Amino acid sequence: MNLFGWLKRSGLKREIIVSVEKLATRVAVLENGRLEEYMVEHSEEERLVGSVFKGRVQNLENDLQAAFVDIGLQRNAFLHYWDMTPDMDAVLDEDDSKGPSRGRKSRLSDAEIAKMYPPGSEIVVQVTKGPISTKGPRVTANISIPGRYLVMMPGENVRGVSKKIGDAKERQRIKKILDKLPLPENTGIVARTAGQGAKAVSFARDLRNLLSVWNEMQGNIKTRRTPCCIFHEPDLCERVVRDWLTEDVDAIVIDDEETFRKMRDLTKAISPRARSKIKRYDGESGIFRHYGVEHALAEAFARRVPLRSGGYLVIDETEALVAVDVNTGHYKGNGSQEDAILEVNLEAVEEVARQLRLRNIGGLVVLDLIDMKSRKHQTQVWKALKTALKRDRARTNVLQISELGLLEMSRQRQDSSILSRLTSKCPYCSGRGHVKSPLAISIEIQRRLAALLRRAAVEKKPFEPKIVIAPQVMQRLRTEDAAILADFQKEWNTRLTFVSELHRHPESFSILDANTSQVLYSQS
């Protein structure tokens, strides 16, 4: 049974809540009122993933098996040699985008690549992963244009069905429909998961829309100067209708009149029956507050995530790796210790799968599970995670639990995580998650003062220090360190003056000459 059918038969009420503001559009997917997925798009940010560019090859790096392509952005795009050749298996598996496929090798030799795409040559590429941190976008030369029910691939000669449609009879029915569709030469199509149960007329309508998009792109390729964007991926609201409005969705609720009308018109064009599912919200309180999304988001993006059993997760993101620590917490069970550990781990992997979708976490993920002695229990937890991840639209790969009790997995990363997009480095700790304690700063101040006073004594210059510090450090100096500072003044035969600045960084301090106001040392 496919995911949509399972959701419908399980009695889940699935709603998509859309909040439209001037600077951001937010989308939340609720199942029986519980937040399951979350997306946000800022109006000032350009949507790159899925967009198509006409670029220019800057250089070929055989050691990396990759080309760097100028597509008009700040950083050149990264193009693997193997993404210059077709990968039909990825399309059939991913449903709506090719995405990177690990472990592939280019079908062409380095010499053939250099002959086809010498530096300076033009190439049309599609962004599969946006720029993250210091890395430029990842692109592919294999273009795929997703529609409602179909993915069209110019340059291919295939008519296929997504692997996610598992029913043999349904696959055969769709294949017959695809075989009758009139396609131009060198144009391939793959039926998406949303096409399950759709009528032949719906596929034909979707194909007409896709061909119209492709014809416009061809015109842009011929007339626009390189580098340039020849196709922009639609905005979040349009993608919700295209990718998310499936048969298991009960309603899409929007709080903006203009967006409501736009989404109704889009739905009418691609699926008239689903138009009634588009609802307008005009309540007094904000739509996210009304549906409980604001509270759910506050909990979902916390570092510590509670589990119903009393256990909890601790989630830490780094640039290339995400670490998830599973803890029993206040779990109280009636069974044996092994059964208790199994129950917490099973609940943990379910929540981890949800958190990966919510936070849009990608790359390498390592779960530090509670140690299980039973190999049977380990396999049970591994299978539970695999099952929970079937709902994920991103490609995932899960390894067996290691001897150290670690479960490693990877998740396809197309964009930065939600957390990194909504937050910036803390001005106090610069992203470390910690600042030095007042005790540590007090020690540093005394150490630096001693060095300055020692130098002044050698040079026989009078020096009365004035130290500017943060309020929390001042509190420490007035209480615990008052006697030590008094002894310090006697030892060095000087007078210390301390000044507190309300908005000063906890780790920052400056040492001045009280007589001349000259800054002798500053730590920011």
Domain closes at, from 233, 250, 276: 233
Same domain, 25 and 115: no
Average pLDDT over every residue of 32-41: 88
Q: Is position 429 within any domain?
A: no
Q: What is the model's pLDDT at position 107?
A: 67
Averaged pLDDT for residues 389-407: 89
Please give the pLDDT value at position 193.
84
Q: Is 94 a residue whose pLDDT tops 50?
A: no
Domain boundary among 294, 316, 335: 294
Asked if residue 433 belongs to a domain, the reply is no
pLDDT above 50: residue 3: no
Same domain, 68 and 216: yes
Within a domain: 180: yes
Give the span between the Cα atoms of 136 and 133, in whole angstroms: 8
pLDDT of residue 9: 46
Pairing of strands 187-191, 150-154: antiparallel
Say yes or no: 246 and 169 in one domain. Answer: no
Containing structural domain, residue 8: 3-42+238-294
The tokens of 380 are what? 């049970």
Mean pLDDT of 106-124: 85
Identify the burial level of 144 via C-beta atoms within 10 angstroms of its C-beta, where 0-12 means exposed, 13-18 middle and 19 or more buried.
Answer: buried
Residue 184 to residue 186: CA distance in whole angstroms: 6
What would the two tokens of residue 365 be?
Answer: 């993920």
Ordered alpha helix ranges (H), 330-463 = 337-359, 375-388, 418-422, 438-459
Preceding omega of 227 cis (within 30 degrees of 0) = yes
Q: How many Å apart are CA 408 and CA 391, to the nearest integer?
A: 19
State residue 11's pLDDT score. 60
**pLDDT value for 471:** 94
Same domain for 330 and 262? no
pLDDT grade for 131, boundaries at 50, 70 and 90? confident
Report the pLDDT value the prediction gives residue 102, as an integer from 0 to 100.
Answer: 42
**Confidence (pLDDT) at 333:** 62
Q: Report the CATH number that the domain containing residue 172 is assigned in CATH.
A: 2.40.50.140
Q: Same structural domain for residues 86 and 176?
A: yes
d(CA 78, CA 66): 7
Confidence of residue 93 (pLDDT cuts 50, 70, 90): low
Q: What are phi and psi of 522, to 5 degrees?
A: -145, 130
Same domain, 78 and 130: yes
* Residues 178 and 316 grouped into a single domain: no
Mean pLDDT of 30-34: 89
Local structure of 40: helix, strand or coil: strand
Residue 17 lies in a domain: yes
Question: What is the reported pLDDT for 86?
Answer: 61
CB environment 186-196: b (16+ within 10 A), e (fewer): ebbbbbbbbbb
In a domain, 139, yes or no: yes
Tokens 């040392």 sit at which residue? 521
* CA distance linking residue 231 with residue 209, whole number of Å: 14
Per-residue pLDDT, averaged over 310-330, amounts to: 87
Q: Do 207 and 350 reside in the same domain of the chain?
A: no
**Residue 515: pLDDT over 90:** no
**Residue type at 283?**
G
- Report the helix count and the strand count for the chain, using DSSP H and E: 15, 25
Q: What is the pLDDT of residue 155?
A: 84
Residue 431, domain member (yes or no): no
Report yes or no on 369 lying in a domain: yes
pLDDT (tens digit per residue) in 234-256: 888 888 888 888 778 899 999 99
d(CA 423, CA 429): 14
The rounded distance, in Å, linking the Cα atoms of 118 and 59 is: 8
Does the pLDDT value for residue 299 go beyond 90?
Answer: no
Taking the C-alpha atoms of residue 151 and residue 346, their distance in angstroms, rounded to an integer, is 36
Whether 177 and 145 map to the same domain: the answer is yes
pLDDT number for residue 328: 84
- pLDDT cut 70: percent of the chain above it: 92
Q: Give tens-digit pLDDT for 420-454.
A: 777 777 777 777 778 889 999 999 999 999 999 99
Instruction: Determine the 3-state secondary structure of 327 from DSSP.
Output: strand
The mean of the pLDDT values for the chain is 86
Pairing status of strand 77-80 against strand 138-140: parallel
CA 470 to chain centroid, in Å, comes to 36
Confidence (pLDDT) at 511: 94
Q: Is residue 21 assigned to a domain? A: yes
Do 509 and 409 reside in the same domain of the chain? Answer: no
- The CATH number assigned to the domain holding 479 equals 3.40.1260.20
Do 250 and 290 reside in the same domain of the chain?
A: yes
Confidence label for 416 from pLDDT (cuts 50, 70 and 90): confident
Task: Determine the angle formed by the axes of helices 482-492 and 471-478, rounding to 10 degrees.
Answer: 80
The total number of structural domains that make up the chain: 4
Which of 294, 316, 334 lies at the terminal end of a domain, its last residue?
294
Q: What integer pLDDT is reported at residue 101 of this predicted model? A: 44
CB under 8 A, 24+ apart: contacts of 79-83? 79/123, 79/125, 79/138, 79/139, 79/140, 79/141, 80/104, 80/106, 80/138, 80/140, 81/106, 81/108, 81/110, 81/113, 82/106, 82/107, 83/128, 83/139, 83/140, 83/141, 83/142
**Residue found by looking up tokens 């795929």 in the block:** 144
User: Is residue 127 located within the same domain as residue 212?
Assistant: yes
